[in-house]
Structure 1
Amino acid sequence: MDANQQTRSNPFGMDEACTNCAALCETRKSLVHGYGDVGADFLFVGEMPDAGADETGVPFTGDERGEALQHILGLLGLNNSLPSSDEPELENVFVTYLTRCRHPERPPTDEEITTCEPYLNAEIRMINPEILVPVGERALEAIATEYTTTPADEIKMTDHHATTIRGRGFELVPMADPLEQNESEREAFLDHFESLMDSDYRQTKGRRGR
């Protein structure tokens, strides 16, 4: 499986007609694989496509939650387009989900997350990021279980939002749901992540305006 950076959308050419979860095939509009820079240091993982991503086929676009995350990425210098863009110009960041299809009436089941796991594992393996960012409690639970030695029940978003957790081959920086964050939580994440970028990656993006 090779990357095709001629496109940010599904650059690894994953199956765009997957039928592994019959119940989701009946409800989805799009099958939403990962999107972004295949050479990224930072990989953000949400739980499932929202209604916006289901429409656009691009993770974290098309609705308020997507715009909230894209706005944060812009403040960090990782998104060079408007938060409302359906095809954001992401640099040094890749965005994806635990599951690739949306059910409008419920979250994904554990079985559906397990079924989609090979897609996520392949993206992580191919990109080999430095930092994994689980977005929301369900993503944190899944990523912590797979990529840390700490029992997942000891890692809670209320305690670990905007902190760094050492993982197996990666560091994790959990992010609370961007649509539900208050201003203090957003500022905490921005400050922590920007400090991490400056110290570990010596980037020279400068301070953001707020």
Structure 2
Amino acid sequence: MPVQEDLANPFGMDEECRNCPELASCRKQVVHGYGDAGGEVIFVGESPTAAAEANGVPFTGDDAGRRIQRILGELGLSRSEPNAAEPELQNVYLTYLARCRHPDRRATDEEVANCEPYRNAELRMINPELIVPVGQRALEELAIEYTTRAPESFDADEEHATTVRGRGFELLPMKDLADLTDADADAFVEHVRENVFSRDYRQTKGRRSR
């Protein structure tokens, strides 16, 4: 665990990555993870929006980012206003399946696979207790690794604001941000406050003391 001096890319991952030549040729910058490197909660989205790419910070800069940032504030995980370009986060880390944005299409399966070592490294180093897959694709990708259920059995809309037991983690699925209403956001916050943060959600897996 490094001594953290900056919330942006705290593990010093390659910001000039060229594992996906087509993405590298059109991206503005790589958007690696951002937040508390010792956090117990990780939010994992599919890939940066145009605003997040411009900021270099996941889940910021547009309406979708403000929805996430508002949720983080209400859960006590952010000290900043929802429109902050570089939010002051505590006990939470934000990242993506794919760290580069193509302006005209979603990341391919191969591109997501090329980014998997970055995500796996973050998860190993942070060793979180709670993982929030944001949207269907993130939920299916994480389900492959961290649950015993078939990925196709998950539906982000139906599983939204619930808890799914994983292998060493709990997954807290969230609907895709494009479909997330204020009522959905409120339901997620209520579930986490009343059913997760209100109890001891920590697993027995040799975590360092806090």
Answering whether residue 34 of structure 2 is matched by residue 35 of structure 1, we say yes
Normalising by structure 1, report the TM-score.
Answer: 0.92
Residue 197 of structure 2 corresponds to which residue in structure 1? 197
Moved more, 186-195 or 42-51: 186-195
Residue 159 of structure 2 contacts residue 173 of structure 2 at CA under 8 Å; is this kept in 1? yes
Residue 120 of structure 2 corresponds to which residue in structure 1? 121
Matched position secondary structure for 2:51: helix
Residue 207 of structure 1 corresponds to which residue in structure 2? none
**Which amino acid is 2:133 matched to?**
P
Question: Identity percentage over the alignment?
Answer: 55
Answering whether residue 154 of structure 2 is matched by residue 164 of structure 1, we say no
Answering whether residue 145 of structure 2 is matched by residue 146 of structure 1, we say yes
Deviation at 1:43, TM superposition (A): 0.3
Q: Which digits, 9 at most, give the CA deviation of each residue in 1:138-184, with x for residues without a partner?
A: 11110111111111111111221111111111110001123421233
Q: Provide the alpha-carbon RMSD of the alignment.
A: 1.3
Q: Which digits, 9 at most, give the CA deviation of each residue in 1:55-105, with x for residues without a partner?
A: 011111111111111111011111100111111000000000001100011
Deviation at 1:201, TM superposition (A): 5.6
Structure 1 unaligned blocks of 5 or more:
203-210
Q: Which digits, 9 at most, give the CA deviation of each residue in 1:10-42, with x for residues without a partner?
A: 000000100000000111101000000011110
Structure 2 unaligned blocks of 5 or more:
203-210
Normalising by structure 2, report the TM-score.
Answer: 0.92
Residue 111 of structure 1 corresponds to which residue in structure 2? 110
Deviation at 1:194, TM superposition (A): 1.0
Matched position secondary structure for 1:14: coil
- Count how many residue pairs are aligned between Structure 1 and Structure 2: 201
Find the aligned partners of 1:178 and 1:81 in 2 and give their Cα distance. 20
Judged with a 3 Å threshold, the aligned counterparts in structure 2 of structure 1 residues 71 and 190 are, in CA distance, closer, same or farther, namely same
Deviation at 1:185, TM superposition (A): 1.6
